[in-house]
Amino acid sequence: MARGEHPQRTPFYGVCLLMVAFAACWVASVTHPAWAAALIYVAAAIVAAVGFVMTFRDYG
């Protein structure tokens, strides 16, 4: 295994992306302009999808 190619690194980054997406949803829930909340929710959905794929890539 080469340096920087640890097999558990990609799932860890996926979990980090999922945590960022959940935090973004919390920010969107306290944001008052509806258009800003909608943009945050869309970005969070994209980040969550990427994080989900990175986390569970070995189970497919």
Would 1 be classed as within a structural domain?
A: no
User: Whole-model pTM above 0.95?
Assistant: no
Would 49 be classed as within a structural domain?
A: yes
Query: pLDDT at position 58, please?
Result: 77
CA distance 29 to 11: 27
Q: Higher model confidence: residue 24 or residue 59?
A: 24
Would 22 be classed as within a structural domain?
A: yes
Would 44 be classed as within a structural domain?
A: yes
Would 29 be classed as within a structural domain?
A: yes
Would 2 be classed as within a structural domain?
A: no
Burial 16-32 (b: 16+ CB within 10 A, else e): ebbeebeebeeebeeee
pLDDT digits (tens, 9 = 90+) for 1-43: 666 666 778 899 999 999 999 999 999 999 999 999 999 999 9
Would 47 be classed as within a structural domain?
A: yes
Would 16 be classed as within a structural domain?
A: yes
Q: How many domains does the chain have?
A: 1
Q: Which domain holds residue 36?
A: 9-59
